[in-house]
Amino acid sequence: MDSRTVLDNVSALSTQISQQDLSGEYDQHRRLPSALVEQLRRAGVFRMNMPKSWGGPEMSSMDQVRVVEALSRADASVGWCAFIWCDSGIYSGYLQPDAARALYPELDMAQSGWVYPAVAAEQVEGGYRVSGRWIFGSGCNHCDRLAAGCYVVKNGQPVVRENGAPEWRILLAKPEEFEIQDTWYTLGLRGTGSHDYIADNLFVPYEHSFSFADPAPRPGTIWAKPDHLLRKMSGVPLGIARAAIDRAVAILEGKVDRRTGAAYKDSDIVQQTIGEVEAKLGAARAYVYDALTTQWRKLEAGEPLTRSDRAAVVLSRQLAFQSGREVVQTLFDLIGGDAVYARNPFERYLRDITTACQHIVAQRKTLQAPGGLLLGAKAKGADIML
């Protein structure tokens, strides 16, 4: 199954998803339906980062954003889970080949989990032993492997790398080795099942762990830089905003002012607003794809990335989230009172994009690191994702 096939499969599946109303399912179960998860698996979504040497498509950053964008346009929770579940191929590239094959024996395996160091893992003979809690385990009810980001301690003392940075490792295990907590009662993205999960004295062999600070054993553009983990996220806000504009246009084309009987589509303010949101989304989308294309081509060719290249990937992603929220909020206001009803998707668009923008990559504080990079300022911390 090559990249083109995955894209075609997702296009067809997205059309099916957009014709369903999953909000009741989300409110009751706070996860995607199992049948839909299997449709995503068969479409090839989980294998997007699997290497060609294994028979995977090894899809470019741009094509992965297209997949997530299409799915998010149909349903934000589906798009959110999709960009996380396909991390299986990324993680497998940071393991030694034999361990990677053992942990990921099939191409279509879903990966979930929090990767940043949240819990101390005690270094013991042959691996690590860990107890603790992680948050935001999106899709953990359906995943095949669950990740747990840890900082390493030995004999109770922090382990540091040669550069003085704490040793950060991601431990990989089966989801049944953790206890998943029913915590996902939220404003939006209710179908993602981003629950907390707990480990109690869990042992993870060393070979089933890795660090993004170490070079990936697997060659290839996907594994040339660890920020690939985050690049595909931009598809979520781009997809939600696109859905909101399309739905607004469809509504406004037939909407009539109750007081005057005038068609909304003939209103100067309505026309201006639609033009503004279309331009805002188009600009953000173009920035994302331009930044990713430049980065991908240079990594593929083994060329060094400039400070501008590196900053653009982070800045364009943050802009996509913020612009997406502005688009949805503007259209919510434009539609008026009808937008608050559950029968109308605008209240869900607004809840989903607002929740998505609480992720660290979408917040204003994310602008500091690329801003400092562009200025040539001394880094305040080692951010290997920049």
Q: pTM of the prediction?
A: 0.96
CB 205 within 8 A of CB 177: no
CB 171 within 8 A of CB 239: no
Q: Classify 139 as helix, strand or coil.
A: coil
Number of H helices, E strands in the chain: 13, 8
d(CA 32, CA 39): 11
- pLDDT tens string 3-20: 999 999 999 999 999 998
pLDDT of residue 380: 67
Asked if residue 104 is part of any domain, the answer here is no
Number of domains in the chain: 3
C-alpha distances in Å from residue 355, one per residue of 77, 155, 328, 335, 385: 11, 40, 13, 21, 22
CB 268 within 8 A of CB 99: no
Asked if residue 105 is part of any domain, the answer here is no
Scanning the chain, the segments in alpha helix (DSSP H) are 3-18, 23-29, 34-43, 61-74, 76-85, 87-92, 97-103, 228-231, 235-254, 268-301, 307-335, 346-356, 368-375
pLDDT of residue 49: 98
pLDDT of residue 258: 83
DSSP code of residue 50: S
Note whether 369 and 230 are same-domain residues. Answer: yes
Residues of the chain with confidence (pLDDT) below 50: none
Asked if residue 306 is part of any domain, the answer here is yes
Among residues 157, 178, 210, the one where a domain terminates is: 210
Note whether 232 and 365 are same-domain residues. Answer: yes
Note whether 235 and 355 are same-domain residues. Answer: yes
Note whether 305 and 351 are same-domain residues. Answer: yes
- Residue 16, exposed/middle/buried by CB under 10 A (0-12, 13-18, 19+)? exposed
Among residues 155, 180, 210, the one where a domain terminates is: 210
CB 182 within 8 A of CB 195: yes
pLDDT of residue 382: 54
- Residue 225, exposed/middle/buried by CB under 10 A (0-12, 13-18, 19+)? buried
Structure tokens at 189: 């993205």
Structure tokens at 141: 């009810």
CB atoms within 10 A of CB 342: 11
Q: Which residue has the tokens 């960009």?
A: 83
pLDDT of residue 261: 85
d(CA 108, CA 123): 31
Contacts of 314 (CB under 8 A, 6+ apart): 361, 366, 369, 370, 386
Note whether 330 and 307 are same-domain residues. Answer: yes
Residue 140: domain span: 110-210
Residue 18's CATH number = 1.10.540.10
d(CA 162, CA 158): 13
Q: Which residue has the tokens 């404003």?
A: 187
